[in-house]
């Protein structure tokens, strides 16, 4: 990828991020002029960036959104949820393009259709004044939005060039006009939609002599032919020339390919059919995917599987037919329109490039300078040592330099670690979109309030927090917060508030998700816990309410009967707790019935990752810190000699004491010793030693958690960590092991 | 007469002019359950179609006129004719 493109990617992602923030804030406070201007500038800059890399399709799409925001700035348009959704859809598309560029290393070649779709969508929503103004401005004149709808509503309409809106005047029947008769003879008529201009009155009050219709039509004829045909009623007709490059349902080629698959499937059956269905199904699914119709592709895939299982193409044929014919309902969606699904946030992909505050880099540069000074001083000291005249003074100098070096290396380490520190805002920002979409899907009115986004935490912590936090937020929106009606009924403000807060507390970072919803029903939790045999009824009765609420973290617990799309995908709060504990953190919940629920994460500021090697001894898995391991080897039993009660072997001329790990841990050692010993050589405190183990395991980076509480006094163990599968791994302390 | 009541069905036949709208509306009002049989309808004026669009009676089709069959019938909800039959 060339340098411009790489820079374009980084910049554009940031612009998208900021513009998303601005738009969401604007939706909350529509008259926030600063946010509006900032969003507008964001789109404007994106357009400029697209221009620099000559990505014209993106430039056009972004330009349309910029126009829309310009209309808001000039007061022509109000800020509506739809307007915000449309602008966000534009940003989503930009992110898809950026991802494509990232993957391909070049501009996407099929961006035109998507851009045209966006431009159509962003064209002012039926605002006649603006539409007229645009019609006058010729070249860049976007299609009227209803034309797109009409096309999308009419399957298989290909080649529409003209859209017509005919609003017959009420007295037209008296003038001998027959609007539908005229339209029935319209050259190249492709689609027709008739609606009442005013809602139909009760039949008793219907005036049979007054026209009350709006007629929308698409035609494949030229605008001149259409205009000539409609000349007698030109005062009641508006004619739009449509863009040619976009067919919102299927581009021509895609439709052809899909139809060919249909024909193939409908052909008489023969021996080789199963293979042909499979490839037809796959081709169709791929075409749909290419068009961004992921859901439809999945339907085809499922149908193909059914067909293959049943040895009958009927299921696939039906699914494909339904897709091709019912395409309008399945027209490619811009992200966020699909109810029930939480659109992935633009920044879901882990940021590959890290933007670092220049001050931090400067600090490191300064440290490097100071290190150079120490280096020179040491060179000087070496010279003095060679002369050997003043050992006392030399020792003094060395001691000083060592102290200096000590300070500098510690500082360097801190500075380098600081590069990995990210503000939580980075993470928090990613939730605004999904929460908003989810609330819209569920019809709940809520506000996500973010606090403490400048609180910093290690990059590893920030990144690992996304999943668990998303889960908790989903729960809060889905279950915690009530609907507006329920809230009104219980005397709360209709708009629920979910707070996402971050703050530093000593060496810990605290992240809280607090909602003002209905709270966790303790009775329900008790009942569910009993039903799932998490504890006996008596034990449950003895638990305090807080302890009962804590049961939601128990594995296998969920109070939701039905699995919904919102949450309850089989991973519950227990997954959240184990994810947080893997980071060396804690999670707790507080809830008051009717007042809300607060889930609090307490995390270490930095994640100290320790690399360990796992070994097996006496049927158990242990971790050995990698730093301590010198090498691993296999040694024939006769190379091991007994020295008193202990054993040893000779390694490269050095006698190394050997400890059987199983025996050291007082495990059962009656198992026959193998003829070849697996040995881990470790070095600790300048001493070599070796551990005999049953088996070598794998290398892992783990977050080590020191033993505390009852086990605090345990020797031999450096700490524990949770393995990916939830098992506890005990990491040995080599130093203590050798004592 | 191109609009008439026959055996409880409202019949549209031949070329139905704008003047048919008013009698059609009256027939529909007085026979709320009546089926409108437009199989013999060669042409219908907008005023007549407007009554059908507003009243959405049950239709007996397909009408003789392809435009009515293809473009209008689906809007009124006639399942026995409409976009899927040929015109």
Write the DSSP assignment of A612-657 as a string of letters.
Answer: EEEEEETTEEEEEEGGGEEEEEEEEGGGEEEETTEEEEEETTEEEE
**A683 three-class SS:** strand
Say if the Cβ atoms of B25 and A206 lie within 8 Å: yes
Greatest alpha-carbon span in chain A: 124
* Minimum-distance CB partner of A208 among B21, B72, B75: B21
Does any CB of chain A come closer than 8 Å to the CB of residue B51?
A: yes
CA pair distance A279, A183, nearest whole angstrom: 44
Q: Alpha carbon of A407 to those of A381, A396, A410, A412, A608: distances in Å?
A: 19, 17, 5, 9, 20
CA pair distance A160, A394, nearest whole angstrom: 91
pLDDT at A406: 84
DSSP-H helix ranges across B4-45: 21-30
Q: Each residue of A508-528: pLDDT tens digit?
A: 889 999 999 888 888 888 887
Say if the Cβ atoms of B21 and A209 lie within 8 Å: yes
User: Going by C-beta distance under 8 Å and a sequence separation of 6 or more, which residues neighbour residue A366?
Assistant: none
Q: What is the mean pLDDT of residues A99-109?
A: 82
Say if the Cβ atoms of B46 and A213 lie within 8 Å: yes
A-facing residues of B in 27-46 (CB < 8 A) are: 28-29, 43, 45-46
- DSSP assignment string, A539-595: HHHHS-HHHHHHGGGSTT----SS--SSS-SS--HHHHHHHHHHTT-EEEEEEETTT
| CATH code, domain carrying B51 | 3.30.750
- DSSP assignment string, A534-547: SS-HHHHHHS-HHH
* Minimum-distance CB partner of B67 among A179, A184, A200: A184
Interface mutation vs chain B, best among A171, A173, A175, A180, most B CBs within 10 Å: A180
User: Is A192's pLDDT higher than 60?
Assistant: yes
pLDDT at A515: 92
Pick A141 or A540 by higher pLDDT: A540
Handedness of CA A285, A286, A288, A292 (dihedral sign): positive
Question: Predicted confidence band at B47 (pLDDT cuts at 50, 70, 90)?
Answer: very high
Residue A116 to chain B, least CA–CA distance (Å): 28
pLDDT at A135: 39
Q: What is the mean pLDDT of residues A367-396?
A: 88
Lowest model confidence (mean pLDDT) among A6-20, A142-156, A724-738: A142-156
Q: pTM score, two decimals?
A: 0.44
Residue B87 falls inside a structural domain:
no
**A285 three-class SS:** helix
- DSSP assignment string, A496-530: EEEEEEEEEETTEEEEEEEE-SS---HHHHHHHHH
Number of neighbouring beta carbons within 10 Å of residue A45: 18
Does any CB of chain A come closer than 8 Å to the CB of residue B87?
A: no
User: Is A150's pLDDT higher than 80?
Assistant: no
Residues of B in contact with A328 (CB under 8 A): none
> Residues in chain B, how many?
87
User: Is A166's pLDDT higher than 80?
Assistant: yes
Q: What is the mean pLDDT of residues A605-617?
A: 78
Element (H, E) at A672: none
User: Going by C-beta distance under 8 Å and a sequence separation of 6 or more, which residues neighbour residue A690?
Assistant: A649, A651, A656, A657, A658, A659, A679, A680, A681, A682
Beta-bridge partners for A31:
none
CA contacts within 13 A on the Cβ side of B84: 7
Helix (H) and strand (E) counts in chain B: 4, 4
User: Is A196's pLDDT higher than 80?
Assistant: yes
Say if the Cβ atoms of A206 and B54 lie within 8 Å: yes
Share of chain A above pLDDT 70, in %: 82
**A495 three-class SS:** coil
Question: Predicted confidence band at A639 (pLDDT cuts at 50, 70, 90)?
Answer: confident
CA pair distance A292, A97, nearest whole angstrom: 12
pLDDT at A268: 59
State which residue of chain A sits closest to B75, comparing Cα positions: A194
Lowest model confidence (mean pLDDT) among A192-196, A246-250, A700-704: A246-250
Q: Please answer whether residues A616 and A693 qualify as being in contact, where contact means their C-beta atoms are separated by less than 8 angstroms.
A: yes
Share of chain A above pLDDT 90, in %: 6
Does any CB of chain A come closer than 8 Å to the CB of residue B10?
A: no
Q: What is the mean pLDDT of residues A233-250?
A: 68
Q: Alpha carbon of A698 to those of A106, A615, A625, A661, A664: distances in Å?
A: 39, 8, 12, 17, 22
Say if the Cβ atoms of A179 and B54 lie within 8 Å: no
Say if the Cβ atoms of A208 and B28 lie within 8 Å: no
Say if the Cβ atoms of B53 and A196 lie within 8 Å: yes
Say if the Cβ atoms of A208 and B49 lie within 8 Å: no
Say if the Cβ atoms of A192 and B28 lie within 8 Å: no
Residue B86 falls inside a structural domain:
no
* Minimum-distance CB partner of A180 among B25, B29, B46: B46
pLDDT at A141: 40
Q: Tell me phi and psi for residue A697, to 5 degrees.
A: -110, -135
Residue A192 to chain B, least CA–CA distance (Å): 7
Highest mean pLDDT among A19-23, A458-462, A671-675: A19-23
pLDDT at A157: 61
Say if the Cβ atoms of B49 and A180 lie within 8 Å: yes
Pick A131 or B20 by higher pLDDT: B20
Q: Please answer whether residues B43 and A181 qualify as being in contact, where contact means their C-beta atoms are separated by less than 8 angstroms.
A: yes
Say if the Cβ atoms of A200 and B43 lie within 8 Å: no
Residue B12 falls inside a structural domain:
yes
State which residue of chain A sits closest to B84, comparing Cα positions: A325
pLDDT at A275: 67
User: Going by C-beta distance under 8 Å and a sequence separation of 6 or more, which residues neighbour residue A387?
Assistant: none
* Minimum-distance CB partner of B29 among A181, A200, A203: A203
* Minimum-distance CB partner of A208 among B43, B47, B67: B47
- In the block, tokens 């939730």 appear at A431
Residues of B in contact with A213 (CB under 8 A): 46, 50, 53
Q: What is the mean pLDDT of residues A373-396?
A: 87
* Minimum-distance CB partner of A200 among B22, B24, B54: B54
CA pair distance A372, A367, nearest whole angstrom: 9
- DSSP assignment string, A326-386: TGGGGPPPPTT-STTS-PPPTT-SPPSS----HHHHHHHHHHHHHHHHHHHHHHHHHHHHH
Q: What is the mean pLDDT of residues A372-387?
A: 88
Q: Please answer whether residues A671 and A722 qualify as being in contact, where contact means their C-beta atoms are separated by less than 8 angstroms.
A: no
Residue B82 falls inside a structural domain:
no
Question: Predicted confidence band at A240 (pLDDT cuts at 50, 70, 90)?
Answer: confident
Residue B68 is part of which domain span? Answer: 3-76
Say if the Cβ atoms of B71 and A184 lie within 8 Å: yes
User: Is A685's pLDDT higher than 70?
Assistant: no
User: Going by C-beta distance under 8 Å and a sequence separation of 6 or more, which residues neighbour residue A612?
Assistant: A623, A624, A625, A626, A699, A700, A702, A721, A729, A731
Q: What is the mean pLDDT of residues A30-39?
A: 87
Say if the Cβ atoms of B29 and A204 lie within 8 Å: yes
Does any CB of chain A come closer than 8 Å to the CB of residue B15?
A: no
Does any CB of chain A come closer than 8 Å to the CB of residue B53?
A: yes
pLDDT at A496: 92
Q: What is the mean pLDDT of residues A568-594?
A: 76
Beta-bridge partners for A416:
none
Highest mean pLDDT among A118-127, A227-236, A250-259: A227-236
pLDDT at A676: 86
pLDDT at A332: 38
CA pair distance A622, A624, nearest whole angstrom: 7
Handedness of CA B9, B10, B11, B12 (dihedral sign): negative
Say if the Cβ atoms of B47 and A194 lie within 8 Å: no
User: Is A540's pLDDT higher than 50?
Assistant: yes
CA pair distance A296, A279, nearest whole angstrom: 17
pLDDT at A512: 94
Number of domains present in the structure of chain B: 1
Q: Each residue of A303-312: pLDDT tens digit?
A: 888 777 777 7
Q: Would you state the structure tokens that stand for residue A328, as one six-digit string?
A: 């309008």
Q: Please answer whether residues A648 and A656 qualify as being in contact, where contact means their C-beta atoms are separated by less than 8 angstroms.
A: yes
Residue B51 to chain A, least CA–CA distance (Å): 7
Instruction: Give chain A's contact residues with B (Cβ, < 8 Å).
Output: 168, 173, 177-181, 184, 192-194, 196, 200, 203-204, 206, 208-209, 211-213
Question: Predicted confidence band at B69 (pLDDT cuts at 50, 70, 90)?
Answer: confident
Residues of A in contact with B25 (CB under 8 A): 203, 206, 208
pLDDT at A333: 37
Q: Please answer whether residues A203 and B29 qualify as being in contact, where contact means their C-beta atoms are separated by less than 8 angstroms.
A: yes
Q: What is the mean pLDDT of residues A172-190?
A: 87
* Minimum-distance CB partner of B46 among A178, A192, A193: A178
Residues of B in contact with A180 (CB under 8 A): 45-46, 49, 67, 72
pLDDT at A153: 58
**Could you tell me which of A127, A230, A215, A221 has the C-alpha nearest to residue A166?**
A215
Residue B24 falls inside a structural domain:
yes
Residue B83 falls inside a structural domain:
no
pLDDT at A345: 37
Question: Predicted confidence band at A43 (pLDDT cuts at 50, 70, 90)?
Answer: very high
Residue A182 to chain B, least CA–CA distance (Å): 9
Say if the Cβ atoms of A173 and B47 lie within 8 Å: yes
CA pair distance A183, A450, nearest whole angstrom: 56
Q: What is the mean pLDDT of residues A240-255?
A: 60
Q: What is the mean pLDDT of residues A255-261?
A: 74
Q: Alpha carbon of A316 to those of A274, A280, A282, A334: distances in Å?
A: 11, 9, 11, 26
Which strands sit side by side in the sheet containing A162-166, from one edge to the other?
A189-196, A213-219, A162-166, A237-241
Residue B85 falls inside a structural domain:
no
Interface A:B, Cβ pairs < 8 A: 58
Average pLDDT value for chain A: 78
User: Going by C-beta distance under 8 Å and a sequence separation of 6 or more, which residues neighbour residue B37?
Assistant: B6, B9, B10, B11, B12, B59, B60
């Amino acid at each position: 990828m060339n340098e411009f493109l790489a820079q374009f990617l980084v910049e554009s992602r940031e612009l998208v991020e900021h513009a998303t923030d601005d738009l969401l804030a604007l939706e909350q406070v529509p008259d926030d002029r600063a946010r509006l201007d900032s969003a507008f500038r964001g789109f404007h800059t994106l357009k400029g960036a697209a221009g620099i890399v000559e990505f014209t399709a993106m430039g056009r799409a972004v330009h349309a959104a910029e126009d829309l925001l310009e209309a808001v700035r000039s007061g022509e348009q109000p800020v509506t949820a739809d307007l915000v959704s449309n602008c966000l859809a534009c940003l989503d598309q930009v992110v898809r393009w950026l991802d494509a560029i990232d993957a391909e290393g070049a501009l996407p070649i099929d961006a035109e259709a998507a851009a045209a779709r966006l431009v159509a969508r962003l064209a002012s929503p039926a605002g006649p004044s603006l539409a007229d103004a645009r019609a006058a401005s010729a070249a860049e004149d976007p299609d009227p939005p209803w034309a797109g709808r009409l096309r999308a509503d009419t399957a298989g309409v290909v080649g529409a060039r003209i859209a017509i809106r005919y609003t017959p005047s009420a007295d037209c029947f008296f003038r001998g006009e027959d609007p539908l008769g005229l339209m029935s003879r319209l050259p190249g008529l492709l689609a027709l939609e008739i609606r009442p201009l005013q809602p139909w009155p009760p039949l008793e009050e219907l005036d049979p002599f007054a026209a009350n219709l709006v007629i929308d039509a698409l035609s494949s004829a030229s605008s001149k032919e259409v205009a000539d045909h409609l000349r007698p009623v030109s005062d009641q007709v508006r004619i739009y020339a449509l863009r040619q490059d976009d067919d919102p349902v299927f581009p021509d080629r895609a439709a052809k390919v899909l139809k060919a698959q249909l024909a193939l499937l409908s052909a008489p059956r023969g021996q080789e059919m199963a293979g042909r269905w499979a490839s037809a199904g796959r081709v169709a699914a791929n075409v749909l995917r290419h068009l961004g119709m992921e859901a439809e592709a999945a339907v085809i895939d499922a149908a193909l599987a059914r067909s293959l299982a049943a040895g009958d193409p009927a299921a696939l044929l039906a699914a494909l037919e339904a897709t091709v014919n019912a395409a309008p309902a399945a027209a490619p969606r811009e992200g966020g329109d699909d109810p029930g699904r939480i659109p992935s946030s633009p920044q879901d992909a882990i940021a590959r490039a890290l933007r670092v505050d220049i001050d931090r880099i400067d600090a490191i540069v300064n440290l490097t300078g100071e290190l150079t000074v120490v280096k020179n001083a040491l060179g000087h000291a070496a010279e003095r040592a060679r002369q050997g005249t003043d050992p006392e003074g030399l020792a003094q100098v060395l001691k000083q330099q060592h102290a200096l070096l000590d300070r500098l290396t510690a500082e360097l380490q801190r500075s380098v670690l600081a590069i990995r520190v990210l503000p939580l805002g980075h993470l928090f920002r990613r939730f605004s979109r999904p929460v908003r979409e989810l609330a819209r899907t569920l019809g709940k009115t809520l506000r996500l309030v973010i606090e403490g986004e400048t609180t910093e935490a290690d990059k590893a912590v920030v990144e690992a927090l996304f999943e668990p936090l998303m889960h908790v937020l989903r729960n809060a929106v889905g279950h915690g917060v009530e609907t507006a009606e329920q809230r009104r009924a219980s005397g709360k403000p209709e708009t629920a508030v979910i707070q996402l807060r971050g703050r530093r507390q000593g060496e810990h970072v605290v992240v809280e998700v607090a909602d003002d919803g209905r709270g966790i029903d303790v009775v329900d939790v008790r009942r569910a816990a009993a039903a799932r045999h998490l504890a006996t009824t008596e034990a449950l009765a003895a638990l305090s309410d807080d302890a009962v609420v804590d049961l939601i973290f128990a594995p296998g617990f969920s109070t939701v009967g039905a699995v919904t799309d919102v949450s309850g995908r089989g991973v519950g709060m227990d997954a959240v707790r184990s994810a947080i504990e893997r980071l060396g953190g804690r999670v707790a919940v507080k809830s008051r019935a009717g007042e809300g629920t607060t889930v609090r994460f307490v995390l270490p500021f930095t994640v100290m990752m320790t690399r360990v090697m796992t070994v097996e001894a006496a049927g158990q898995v242990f971790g050995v810190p990698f730093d301590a391991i010198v090498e691993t080897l296999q040694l024939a039993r006769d190379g091991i000699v007994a020295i008193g009660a202990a054993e040893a072997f000779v390694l490269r001329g050095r006698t190394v004491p050997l400890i059987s790990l199983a025996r050291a841990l007082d495990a059962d050692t009656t198992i026959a010793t193998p003829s070849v010993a697996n040995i881990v050589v470790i070095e600790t405190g300048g001493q070599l030693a070796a551990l005999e183990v049953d088996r070598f395991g794998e290398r892992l980076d783990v977050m080590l958690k020191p033993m505390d509480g009852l086990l605090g006094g345990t020797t031999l163990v450096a700490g524990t960590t949770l393995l990916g599968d939830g098992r506890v791994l005990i990491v040995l302390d080599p130093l203590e092991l050798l004592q | 007469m191109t609009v008439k009541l026959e055996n409880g069905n409202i019949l549209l036949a031949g070329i139905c002019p704008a003047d048919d709208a008013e009698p059609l509306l009256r027939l529909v009002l007085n026979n709320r359950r009546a089926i409108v049989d437009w199989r013999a309808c060669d042409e219908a004026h907008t005023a007549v179609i407007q009554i059908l669009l507003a009243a959405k009676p049950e239709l007996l089709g397909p009408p003789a006129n392809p435009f009515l069959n293809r473009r209008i019938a689906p809007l009124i909800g006639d399942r026995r004719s409409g976009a899927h039959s040929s015109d």
